[in-house]
Structure 1
Amino acid sequence: MGFDATPEWDDVEGPQLGMNTQTFGDLLELPSPAGRIPAAVYGFRDMTGQYREQPHSNLSTAVTQGGGAILTEALLESGWFQPIEREGLQDLLTERRVARQLRDNVAALQEARVLFEGGIVGYDRALTTGGVAARYFGLGASEEYQIDQVTVNLRAVNVENGMVLVSVTTTKTIYSYKVSGGLFRFVRHQRLLDAEGGYTLNEPRLLATSDAISAAVIHLIVRGLVDNHWRLANSEDLDHPIIEAYLVQHRQRLGQGG
C-alpha cells in the first residue's frame, strides 16, 4: 500500500479579498460625491513606538507598518477621493525619466488638492482582562479574555494653503478569548492521567487597524460635508442612513445627544 505524505485540507479556504468588515461595507455604501477629489498620501506611520510583547519578539512592532497602503485603498474604494501615488514617488519619477528618454510627450503629473496626514497614534494592551476557573477532583476548566485598543488619527489638509480641513480620531477594540480545560488524576496505582485541551480566538490586529482607518475616512467625509469642504452629487443624500449614523456618533462625542 502506498503512502501519501500530502495532507488533505478540505476545509481550508482559499485567498480572499481583505477588509471584509461592516465598517468597510459602510465605506462602499456611501452616496456619490459631486466629483472625486485628487488626494495624496505620503504615509500613515506607526506612532505608537510599541513592539510585540514577549515572548514573541521585541523586534517586531505591535501594529502594522502598512497604514499608508490601507488608507490609500480606503480612500479609493470610498469613491470620494482619487489617490495620487506619493509613497512610491521616486519609483514613479524614475519610470517617467525612462519614458521621457523614449518619447517627448510625457503627460504632466496630477497635482493633489488634499493631503492626508496622520498615523496610528495608540495601541493599548490589556485595557480589560479577566476570566474564571474551577477545578474539582483533578478536573478543571478556565476562561480568560483580554481587550486591547488601537487608535488612529486622520487629517485632511488643503494643499493650497496648508490649512487642516478636518481631523478625526477613531478607536477600534480588539478582543482576545481563551477557553481551556484539563484532567489530572491517578487512574490506578502509579498510573497518572494528564490531559489538556482548549482554544484561543484573537481578532486580527491588521483587520482592527483597517477598520479604524475605514471609520476615520467615513467620519472625515461626513465632517467635510457638514463643513462644506466637499459636496454630494445629490444634496438629498445628506439624509442617507450611513451619513446620519456617523453624524449621530459625532454629536454624541460633542455631548449634543442624538
Structure 2
Amino acid sequence: MLSAVKFMPLVGLAVLLAGCVTEPKGRELLEEAPVLTPASPTALDLENLLPPKRKLDVAVYQFQDLTGKNEPNDNVAVFSRAVTQGASGFVIDALQRAGHGRWFTVDERNGLSDLLNERQLVKVTRAEFEGENARPLPPIRFAGLLIEGGIIGFDGNVITGGVGANFLNIGGDVQYRQDTVTVAMRVVSVQTGEVLTSITTTKTVYSIGLRANVYKFVSIDKLLQAEAGVTRTEPTQLAVRQAIDLAVYATVMQGAQKGIWNFADQKGGRALLQSYLSKESVTATPLPAAKKSEG
C-alpha cells in the first residue's frame, strides 16, 4: 500500500488531469489569448511625431527580403526564410502610424492589379445596367513620392558564447547568441527620379538559454538528478518591424533636415530635429531654407 506522502502527489496529478478533461470549453494548457503587439519606444516616437505642414502622398510597391538567407540552424538544413517575406505590410503600417496618421497618405500599389481588376468590374457592371448614364469612377490617387528599399542583411551568430559553473554537483550554465537584421529605406521623387533621402537601420536579435542541474547520491545505489532550463529567442519579425519603424522615423527627420518637408510647428519641429541629431551623435548644422515639397 502507498503511504500518504507518496499518494498525495498522485491525487493532485489526477485532479489536474481531470480538470483538463472535464472543461472542454476552457483554454488548453499553456494557451494564451491573442494580444496587440506592444509598441516599442521607437514606435511611440513615430506615432507622437509633430504634424507636418503638408500631408504627403506616398506609394510602396515592394519592400522585399533581399538577404536570400534561410533560417539559421546548426544541426539540420532548414529552408524557411530567415526574415519575414511580408515587410511591405510593416512599412505601410509604419507610414500610416507616423504622427497618428497625419504625415502620409499611402496609395495602394502592392495589390495594384487586384485594384485595377475590381475597378474594371465596377465599370462593366455599371455600363451594363446604367448604359450611357453610367457613373464614372473617380481617378486613382497618384503619389509624389515612392518608398523603396528592403531587408538587405541578416547576419546569424554574430556573437555566440556562454558560461557555466559546477560546485558540489550543483551547477548551471548560460548560452547566448546574437543575430542582426539590417533594413534600408529611401524616398524617391516621382517627378525627377531623384533619391531624396536614404536611411539604413540595424536591429539586434538576441537568443539566450539558461540551464541548472543537480546530481546527488541520496543513498549508495540511488542517484537524484534534477534539471531545469529556459530558452528565449526574440522574434525576428518584431525586430524587422522595429527596424522599419526607426527607418520611417529617421526618414521624416532626414527630410526635415534637408528642407524637403517641414513641420507645421517650425519651432517645435526644429527642437525635435536637434534632439534626434544629438541622440544619433550627428553634428547639428543650421537647417537649410525650406523648398517646395515633392508630395
Aligned-pair CA distance for 1:212: 0.5
Give the counterpart letter for 2:96 in structure 1: L
Q: 1:257 to 1:107 in 2, by over 3 A?
A: closer
Give the number of the structure whose residues are more often strand, by fraction: 1
Give the counterpart letter for 1:4 in structure 2: T
Aligned match of 1:65:
85
Aligned match of 1:163:
194
Q: 2:51 aligns with which of 29, 32, 39?
A: 32
Three-state SS of the structure 2 residue aligned to 1:51 is coil
Q: Indicate yes or no: 2:243 matched with 1:212.
A: yes
Q: 1:129 to 1:212 in 2, by over 3 A?
A: same
Q: Indicate yes or no: 2:210 matched with 1:179.
A: yes
Aligned match of 1:244:
274
Give the number of the structure whose residues are more often helix, by fraction: 2
Could you list the per-position Cα deviations for residues 168-207 of structure 1 after superposition, in whole angstroms to 9, with x for gaps in the alignment?
0011111222111112333334423222111122211111
Any stretches of 5+ residues in structure 2 without a counterpart? 1-14, 127-134, 286-295
Which piece of structure 1 moves more, 137-146 or 158-167?
Answer: 137-146
Three-state SS of the structure 1 residue aligned to 2:123 is helix
TM, length-normalised to structure 2: 0.79
Q: 1:93 aligns with which of 96, 116, 136?
A: 116
Q: 1:66 to 1:234 in 2, by over 3 A?
A: same
TM, length-normalised to structure 1: 0.90
Q: 1:4 aligns with which of 22, 28, 50?
A: 22
Three-state SS of the structure 2 residue aligned to 1:52 is coil
Q: Indicate yes or no: 2:126 matched with 1:84.
A: no
Aligned-pair CA distance for 1:50: 0.6
- Looking at structure 1, the residues matched to 89 and 229 of structure 2 have their Cα atoms a distance apart, in angstroms, of 36
Q: 1:245 to 1:15 in 2, by over 3 A?
A: farther
Q: Please say if residues 149 and 171 of structure 1, whose CA atoms lie closer than 8 Å, have aligned partners that are also in contact.
A: yes
Q: 1:27 to 1:16 in 2, by over 3 A?
A: same
Q: 1:207 to 1:56 in 2, by over 3 A?
A: farther
- Looking at structure 2, the residues matched to 63 and 157 of structure 1 have their Cα atoms a distance apart, in angstroms, of 25
Aligned-pair CA distance for 1:58: 1.8
- Looking at structure 1, the residues matched to 38 and 137 of structure 2 have their Cα atoms a distance apart, in angstroms, of 36
Q: Over aligned residues, Cα RMSD in angstroms?
A: 2.3
- Looking at structure 2, the residues matched to 145 and 245 of structure 1 have their Cα atoms a distance apart, in angstroms, of 34
- Looking at structure 1, the residues matched to 250 and 161 of structure 2 have their Cα atoms a distance apart, in angstroms, of 33
Give the counterpart letter for 2:70 in structure 1: Y
- Looking at structure 2, the residues matched to 134 and 232 of structure 1 have their Cα atoms a distance apart, in angstroms, of 56
- Looking at structure 2, the residues matched to 71 and 108 of structure 1 have their Cα atoms a distance apart, in angstroms, of 25
What is the percent sequence identity of the aligned residues?
A: 35
Any stretches of 5+ residues in structure 1 without a counterpart? none
- Looking at structure 2, the residues matched to 205 and 56 of structure 1 have their Cα atoms a distance apart, in angstroms, of 20
Aligned-pair CA distance for 1:9: 6.3
Aligned-pair CA distance for 1:119: 0.5
Aligned-pair CA distance for 1:249: 4.1
Aligned-pair CA distance for 1:5: 5.5
Give the counterpart letter for 1:73 in structure 2: D
Asked which structure has the greater CA Rg, the reply is 2
Aligned match of 2:233:
202
Aligned match of 2:5:
none
- Looking at structure 2, the residues matched to 116 and 28 of structure 1 have their Cα atoms a distance apart, in angstroms, of 19
Q: 1:57 to 1:109 in 2, by over 3 A?
A: farther
Q: 1:118 aligns with which of 123, 134, 149?
A: 149
Q: 1:181 to 1:215 in 2, by over 3 A?
A: same
Q: Please say if residues 115 and 157 of structure 1, whose CA atoms lie closer than 8 Å, have aligned partners that are also in contact.
A: yes
